[in-house]
Amino acid sequence: MSYYVHAVAGRLRIKLPILKKNPTKAQKLEELLRNLSGVEHASTNGMTGSVTILFDEKVIGSDGILLLLAQEGYIDIFQLIAGKKREESPASHIGQAASKALLGFALGRAFQGTPLAFISAFI
């Protein structure tokens, strides 16, 4: 599954194959985003499988939104890290960096107290 991310100041558009022809999933995502502090508008398009989000950059950034999507299962964090999504803007790099940070944290917890704990520091 690949992701298309396009971001400009206060606007984020992401193509999520999981939304394509899945109105229930799309509606749940819209509700999730609309309840997020700083999000001014969120709309999905079931035909294209994309979501457009307008947000106040003083409250939340595109990286925070991407992290939420990863935590809620809309984006596969491992594919973000592997760079299998198309990148069009600096916000894409922010999402990738945030994904690596989450993976490093998860690995640190998993290997805590073992000789492999140092590996998470290199991610």
Domains of the chain: 4-122 (3.30.70.100)
Spatial separation of the C-alpha atoms in residues 53 and 14, rounded to whole Å: 9
Average confidence (pLDDT) over 33-43:
94
Residue 47 pLDDT > 70: yes
Spatial separation of the C-alpha atoms in residues 50 and 43, rounded to whole Å: 8
Specify the higher pLDDT residue, 83 or 10.
Answer: 10
Specify the higher pLDDT residue, 102 or 119.
Answer: 102
Inter-helix orientation angle 62-71/90-110, to 10°? 40
Q: Which range, of 20-24, 26-30, 115-119, averages the lowest pLDDT?
A: 115-119
Query: With a threshold of 0.75, does the pTM exceed it?
Result: no
Average confidence (pLDDT) over 17-32:
91
Could you tell me the two tokens for 19?
Answer: 């939304």
Looking at residue 54, its pLDDT comes to 96
